[in-house]
Amino acid sequence: MAAYRSAAGFQRVLHAVKHVCFSKQRCGVIICRYSTVYDPTEKTFDKILIANRGEIACRVIKTCKKMGIKTVAVHSDVDSSAVHVKMADEAVCVGPAPTNKSYLNMDAIMNAIKQTGAQAVHPGYGFLSENKQFAKRLAAEGVSFIGPDTHAIQAMGDKIESKLIAKAAKVNTIPGFDGVVKDAEEAVKIAGEIGYPVMIKASAGGGGKGMRIAWNDEETREGFRFSSQEAASSFGDDRLLIEKFIDNPRHIEIQVLADKHGNALWLNERECSIQRRNQKVVEEAPSTFLDPDTRRAMGEQAVSLAKAVKYSSAGTVEFLVDSKKNFYFLEMNTRLQVEHPITECITGLDLVQQMIRIAMGYKLQHKQSDIPINGWAIESRVYAEDPYKSFGLPSIGRLSQYQEPLDLRNVRVDSGIEEGSDISIYYDPMISKLVTYGKTREEALKKMEEALDNYVIRGVTHNIPLLREIIVHPRFVSGDISTKFLPEVYPDGFKGHMLTAGERRELLATAAALYVAAQLRSQKFLGDLRVSVVPAESRQWELCVELDKGVHMLGVSRSGNNYTVEIDGEKVEVSGEWNLASALLPLTINGKHRTLQCLLRTAAGEITLQYLGTSFKLRVLSKLAASLSKHMPEKVPEDTSSILRSPMPGSVVAVSVKPGDNVAEGQEICVIEAMKMQNSMTAAKAAKVKSVHCKAGDTVGEGDLLVELE
Amino acid sequence: MNARGYSVNHPSVQERIEKKRQAALTGGGQLRIAAQHKRGKLTARERLELLLDPDSFVEYDMFVEHRCSDFGMEADHNKYPGDSVVTGQGRINGRLVYVFSQDFTVFGGSLSGAHAQKICKIMDQAMMVGAPVIGLNDSGGARIQEGVESLAGYADIFLRNVMSSGVVPQISLIMGPCAGGAVYSPALTDFTFMVKDTSYLFITGPDVVKSVTNEDVSQEELGGAKTHTTVSGVAHRAFENDVDALLNLRDFFNFLPLSNKDPAPVTECHDPRDRLVPGLDTVVPFESTKAYDMLDIVHGIVDEREFFEIMPNYAKNIVVGFARMNGRTVGIVGNQPKVASGCLDINSSVKGARFVRFCDAFNIPIITFVDVPGFLPGTAQEYGGIIRHGAKLLYAFAEATVPKITVITRKAYGGAYDVMSSKHLRGDVNYAWPSAEVAVMGAKGAVQIIFRGKENQAEAEAEYVEKFANPFPAAVRGFVDDIIQPSTTRKRICRDLEVLASKKQTNPWKKHANIPL
């Protein structure tokens, strides 16, 4: 932080560039008002096809609209009423739901291009974005690919070749990496030569998908098996890569921008160390860790690599940075990154616009000295997943209520869904990218807290509890992070927010206020003369509130919208403008502003509140009901150790047991694939298999019975 | 001193009153109360305390005792003031209700002549003043010692159940055993709720079943909450335990009018009446063969997503229940495409019909969401009398004179289209969503009949789809009043209900109608 502030060069441009500000737009997507101008006289494409879906398709369409370019969306049949389809000027269905039949279906997409006369294709990220065949086919048809040319895609898409090129371009590379792997035993041999720990992943794969770490021979064999399977199913190419694994690294990447005339720029870094299972969760720009010299060194190496492969368009060079600020080239992503908005926020550039201009053959508008670091931006990836299971296992469902925190200033939400959208098993479970911006990191983080609290997502399980905890964790706030942040901070798994005594009181008081408001309203009948009037205002309420097996006696009194709640001798004042129908509860609790959400309120006194990101289950009962409840029988919960249920919706890839088999505790029973991720399901105890309720190829829902043990 | 020569203030009378009152309050005594608690059940009085507003209970007949003198019943220790039931009136959220609560601690809650008489008294008064009756059932059955007097008592209650039917709402909550003839009182009431694991309803218990039919069956399997809410359709809903059931009953009571002369209640509402529901524009899938959840539509449209579903686990191909629109109670009926394509069969027809008739009897507007591919074909249905039972739903919608609003969300095929609160059955406002298809049948079947033996079936099918698989054929004839954007449905229904609040419609005079039972 201090290092960054002292960077006089950046300070200068900070004043030169307009503040990034935000404007509310239709379709639930907000885009920065970029410092770059959209010159209507500059000739550009008439029509662009976006070969993608979801938020990134919407993101690209936004910029096309600003540039006056017509857009064509492609979609699978289940996506026919998706937001990106509605936003585009034209839409073409390219096949059924599975991605290999629709969004990866090159023939159908080529047809769509012909049919609509699109002159260029923006591939977004994922899908065909780094597919050289696709780029080639486009070139053959004379259609521009908004991205680098096939040579660069090929060179950088191959993990081994890319490192050789990087080495030649004098980019720091990871020691000891080598080899394409034929079988498990060869994997073990290579791993032995490099020395443990090693990392195993698909050669053709981008990001963290398919990446596994092995600390011994056994894990190498297992890693080989999983990675090759995943590589085959995701990329149709089962080549693998094994290399030295750098312990405790940061993941910091440099955004580059290069034109077709040999010019290239580095647009500063993005800190992406907060990951789970090697997938990014929270990103920020700039990084708290880099000093100007390291930043410049990384930027210059990134640019020299881009130049070495005659790169054009936007690209990202990923580095691992160790605790001594040594950095090693990891890979280059030859596409627009998911987390590109934070770079846009601090530089004021519209990367999609730049990509389109570059594809048109224009020279870069900026010089390196024009690129500022203006303020701080944080991105939280909001996923439909359960953060309490391995920091996030996919969940599906219909967004029954959905409201983005767009009335807040300096908040940008990139999403491709709306209220009523389905999160299905076919695609990535990302709901949106929530970006907040501030003059300082502190400001951006505060804004992120507020944005997460004001984000209404109902109908699917989401990871806001985890995001909300990460951004306030002392280690994160101080910038002391690495890619191992989550497992180190939550060694026993994420358990949600741990309440302090004061917070607990706030939560109890809010539940009590809600209960009383609901009770009072249930006595209000309009125009009914037969109702005897209870003098409600003067009433004192004695309530018993349960929270995590703790029971509290509360005294509540109310005047207007102000509730005074007495808990264990302490008074808590709850007030605010809210009603029982509002999704958000903007409250003032003992003078502090808090936004809570009421997720559930039943006649039997159950109240579920989202507070500080985590949802808490409470039960509010009158004193009488509470005292009578002690006679109620305990319901015996199902013994789950002998039952294996699917933790998420997905499809069964393999079943490794049959009835009568003896399994050891922890032994793999079956493998479930969801959203392109394979999950090994293991036995919770040593037992004999009683019955198997699934077979390879089955589609299963969350909670479906897979296997029963004796 | 009065004429008879003793003082009412005489200490011994005061003492006796106090003693009797104390005895009445402790029912069958501390031991039996402890036993009741051990079974996970509350006592009759605890239940009433929880059900009614604080301090609102007014008890009747606390001093009534049974009159049996056989088998030693006349002995003082066999007399319990109030006998085996607690009766009276009270308030739920300020609104009047008559209640009886059977006391299992006194002779196992068995029904004596006196017990029946107490229940009849409050039922008669409830009818006169126009207030609902809630019965909390927990009774071993007839008081065998009393013989025919007990049976007479049951019949007296049955008669009142029938006379009150359609006059005041009647609700039964089964909180313990309820066997033999006793089951017919809940069966005659409008709603029967049960408590899971601790309540049973059957004509004859497992022992008799074993001796007659040689079937081995447990109490729970024969007549537990699960059986009656999923298999038999006898009970309308089940709750976790006594406390849960009573708190839910308070909530449920707020939906009901006090009598057939009172309007459906209107509560304070915070959910904007003109709220748009954007999610509804995409809820119906493009492929007409794909299922969706009708509850997504219901939850989206009603106030605060609050829907009290009736029979949620029985005949799930139709959804019925209570909700509010701009604070006003409405009855919701909807085909459920997620289950058996939302077709009408015997069970769903009967479930729907009874619900529609309740709403009509008690001035509750009916909102119907239609996505129905037709009646379920097959021998099981035909032999079971789908014609007779399907007619019940048709009958119920046709005779109903309360405000009727219908929204065709997708399919409205064949006779089932007519049945589902169509314009032809006096629907007041009938809407179609753009995804609506009103036709005699689906395209494939229709083309096979119209163009039998001809080639170009695919072309013919396309023509049929073009002509009929849309809302226009119904709209041009005025069978639907408008084709509406789904997201505006809530706003329109709220407005229509306000207009229809003053609706007056009467059926021709008759002694009573003859629904095809």
Q: Is B181 in the active site? A: yes
- Average pLDDT over chain A reads 87
pLDDT of residue A247: 75
pLDDT of residue A654: 84
Structure token digits, residue A414: 């990139």
Q: Can you say how many angstroms the Cα of residue B406 is from the centroid of all Cα atoms in its chain?
A: 21
Query: Quick one: residue A527, left, alpha or beta (phi over 0 = left, psi -120 to 50 = alpha)?
Result: left
* Distance between CA atoms of residues B423 and B431, nearest Å: 10
Chain B: closest CA distance from residue A629 (Å): 6
pLDDT of residue A60: 97
Residue A604 reports pLDDT greater than 80: yes
pLDDT of residue A209: 59
CB-based burial label for B333 (10 Å; 0-12, 13-18, 19+) = buried
Angle at B140 between CA B135 and CA B146, to 5 degrees: 100
* Candidate from A44-58, A171-185, A276-290 with smallest mean pLDDT: A171-185
- Burial profile A327-359: b = 16 or more Cβ within 10 angstroms, e = fewer: bbbbbbbbbbbbbbbbbbbbbbbbbbbbbbbbb
Other CB atoms within 10 Å distance of the CB of residue A141: 11
Chain B: closest CA distance from residue A540 (Å): 13
Mean pLDDT, residues B471-485 taken together = 95
Chain B contact for A606 (CB, 8 A cutoff): no
Q: What SS3 class is residue A378?
A: strand
DSSP alpha helices (H): ranges in B42-170?
A: 44-51, 113-129, 148-164
Mean pLDDT, residues A165-184 taken together = 78
pLDDT (tens digit per residue) in B252-302: 999 999 999 999 999 999 999 999 999 999 999 888 888 899 999 999 999
Query: What confidence tier does A6 reach under pLDDT thresholds 50, 70, 90?
Result: very low
Closest CA to A493 of A323, A276, A660: A276
pLDDT of residue A666: 74
pLDDT of residue A536: 54
Mutate to test the interface with B, among A85, A515, A516, A528 (most CBs of B within 10 A): A528
Q: What pairs with residue B482 in β-bridges?
A: B431
Q: Of these residues, B130, B152, B166, B181, which one is catalytic? A: B181
Mutate to test the interface with B, among A27, A396, A400, A419 (most CBs of B within 10 A): A419
Q: How many pairs of residues across A and B have Cβ atoms under 8 Å apart?
A: 123
Mean pLDDT, residues B358-368 taken together = 98
pLDDT of residue B468: 83
Closest CA to A460 of B321, B279, B320: B279
Chain A: closest CA distance from residue B365 (Å): 17
Q: What is the DSSP string of B333-382?
A: EEE-TTTGGG-B-HHHHHHHHHHHHHHHHTT--EEEEEEE--BPPSHHHH
* Distance between CA atoms of residues B410 and B432, nearest Å: 8
Cross-chain Cβ contact A77/B286 below 8 Å: yes
Mean pLDDT, residues B474-502 taken together = 96
Cα-flanking dihedrals φ and ψ of residue B166, to 5°? 80, 0
Q: Are B191 and B168 in contact (CB under 8 A)?
A: no
Q: Which amino acid is at B458?
A: A
pLDDT of residue A296: 96
Name the residue with tokens 């399994």: A663
Chain B: closest CA distance from residue A395 (Å): 18
Angle at A143 between CA A140 and CA A149, to 5 degrees: 75
* Candidate from A193-197, B35-39, B255-259 with smallest mean pLDDT: A193-197
Cross-chain Cβ contact A633/B197 below 8 Å: yes
pLDDT of residue B489: 98
pLDDT (tens digit per residue) in A69-111: 999 999 999 999 999 999 999 999 999 999 999 999 999 999 9
Q: Which of A523, A527, A632 sits opposite B241 (nearest CB)?
A: A632
Sign of CA dihedral A140, A141, A142, A144: negative
Name the residue with tokens 């809407």: B431
Query: What confidence tier does B10 reach under pLDDT thresholds 50, 70, 90?
Result: low
pLDDT of residue A195: 76
Chain A contact for B478 (CB, 8 A cutoff): no
List chain A residues with CB under 8 Å of B197. Answer: 633, 635
B 299-318 residues with CB < 8 A to A: 299-300, 303-305
Chain A: closest CA distance from residue B7 (Å): 38
- Average pLDDT over chain B reads 93
Total residues found in chain B within this entry:
517
Other CB atoms within 10 Å distance of the CB of residue A570: 12
pLDDT (tens digit per residue) in A119-133: 999 999 999 999 989
Query: What confidence tier does A533 reach under pLDDT thresholds 50, 70, 90?
Result: low
Structure token digits, residue B360: 């009509």
Q: Are B126 and B98 in contact (CB under 8 A)?
A: yes
pLDDT of residue A538: 56
Cross-chain Cβ contact A419/B278 below 8 Å: yes
Q: What percent of chain A has pLDDT over 70?
A: 90
Query: What confidence tier does B1 reach under pLDDT thresholds 50, 70, 90?
Result: very low
Q: Of these residues, B245, B416, B443, B475, which one is catalytic? A: B416
Structure token digits, residue B128: 């006169």
* Distance between CA atoms of residues A75 and A94, nearest Å: 6
pLDDT of residue B57: 96
Closest CA to A47 of A150, A149, A147, A144: A144
Mean pLDDT, residues A323-352 taken together = 94
Chain A contact for B42 (CB, 8 A cutoff): yes
Query: What confidence tier does A23 reach under pLDDT thresholds 50, 70, 90?
Result: very low
| Catalytic positions of A | 335
* Peptide bond before residue A286 is cis, with ω within 30 degrees of 0: yes
* A98 DSSP 8-state letter: S
pTM: 0.87
Q: Which of A420, A532, A624 sits opposite B49 (nearest CB)?
A: A624
pLDDT of residue A24: 35
DSSP alpha helices (H): ranges in A129-216?
A: 132-140, 150-157, 159-168, 184-194
Mean pLDDT, residues B377-386 taken together = 94
Query: What confidence tier does B12 reach under pLDDT thresholds 50, 70, 90?
Result: confident
List chain A residues with CB under 8 Å of B42. Answer: 628, 631
Query: Quick one: residue A210, left, alpha or beta (phi over 0 = left, psi -120 to 50 = alpha)?
Result: left
pLDDT of residue A204: 67
Q: Which of B265, B300, B305 sits opposite A525 (nearest CB)?
A: B265
**Separation of first and last alpha carbons in chain B:** 63
* Distance between CA atoms of residues B52 and A630, nearest Å: 19
Of B67 and A441, the one with more pLDDT: A441
pLDDT of residue A26: 33
Q: What is the DSSP string of A192-230?
A: HHH-SSEEEEESS--TTTT-EEESSHHHHHHHHHHHHHH
Q: Are A69 and A140 in contact (CB under 8 A)?
A: no
List chain B residues with CB under 8 Å of A532. Answer: 91, 94-96
pLDDT of residue B8: 57
Chain A contact for B198 (CB, 8 A cutoff): yes
Query: What confidence tier does A303 reach under pLDDT thresholds 50, 70, 90?
Result: very high
Query: What confidence tier does A610 reach under pLDDT thresholds 50, 70, 90?
Result: very high
Structure token digits, residue A669: 């029973």
List chain A residues with CB under 8 Å of B278. Answer: 418-420
pLDDT (tens digit per residue) in B174-226: 999 998 888 999 999 999 999 999 999 999 999 999 999 999 999 999 999 99
pLDDT (tens digit per residue) in A473-529: 999 999 999 999 999 999 999 999 999 999 999 999 999 999 999 999 998 898 877
List chain B residues with CB under 8 Å of A523. Answer: 93-94
Q: What SS3 class is residue A672?
A: strand
Chain B contact for A582 (CB, 8 A cutoff): yes
Name the residue with tokens 């001809």: B454
Q: Which of B46, B247, B278 sits opposite A420 (nearest CB)?
A: B278
Structure token digits, residue A585: 């509860």
Closest CA to A256 of A207, A295, A313: A313
Q: What percent of chain B has pLDDT over 90?
A: 84
Q: Which of B37, B254, B267 sits opposite A526 (nearest CB)?
A: B267
Chain A: closest CA distance from residue B33 (Å): 11
Name the residue with tokens 């394409």: A180
Query: What confidence tier does A3 reach under pLDDT thresholds 50, 70, 90?
Result: very low
Residue A191 reports pLDDT greater than 90: no
Structure token digits, residue A280: 């990014």
CB-based burial label for B215 (10 Å; 0-12, 13-18, 19+) = exposed
pLDDT of residue A35: 64
Cross-chain Cβ contact A523/B299 below 8 Å: no
List chain B residues with CB under 8 Å of A525. Answer: 93-95, 265-267
Of A173 and B393, the one with more pLDDT: B393
Give the ipTM of the model, two decimals please.
0.93
List chain A residues with CB under 8 Å of B94. Answer: 523, 525, 531-534
Structure token digits, residue A159: 């993990």
Cα-flanking dihedrals φ and ψ of residue A293, to 5°? -70, -45
A 48-87 residues with CB < 8 A to B: 77, 80-81
pLDDT (tens digit per residue) in A686-703: 788 888 888 888 888 878
* Distance between CA atoms of residues B184 and B188, nearest Å: 6
Residue A18 reports pLDDT greater than 50: no
Residue A8 reports pLDDT greater than 80: no
Q: What pairs with residue A214 in β-bridges?
A: A198
Name the range with the highest mean pLDDT among A6-15, A249-258, A679-688. Answer: A249-258
Q: Are A385 and A428 in contact (CB under 8 A)?
A: no
Structure token digits, residue B261: 């002369």
DSSP alpha helices (H): ranges in B39-131?
A: 44-51, 113-129
* Peptide bond before residue A197 is cis, with ω within 30 degrees of 0: yes
What is the Rg, in whole angstroms, of the alpha carbon atoms belonging to chain A? 27
Q: What SS3 class is residue B46?
A: helix
Mean pLDDT, residues A17-28 taken together = 34
* Candidate from A672-681, B112-121, B155-164 with smallest mean pLDDT: A672-681
Residue A313 reports pLDDT greater than 50: yes
Chain A: closest CA distance from residue B278 (Å): 6
Total residues found in chain A within this entry:
710
pLDDT of residue A622: 94
Chain A contact for B220 (CB, 8 A cutoff): no
Chain B contact for A636 (CB, 8 A cutoff): no
Mean pLDDT, residues A251-280 taken together = 95
Residue A27 reports pLDDT greater than 50: no
Mutate to test the interface with B, among A632, A634, A635, A636 (most CBs of B within 10 A): A632
Mean pLDDT, residues B227-243 taken together = 96
Mean pLDDT, residues A643-665 taken together = 83
CA dihedral A313, A314, A320, A324 (to 10 degrees): 100
Q: Which of B243, B251, B267 sits opposite A525 (nearest CB)?
A: B267
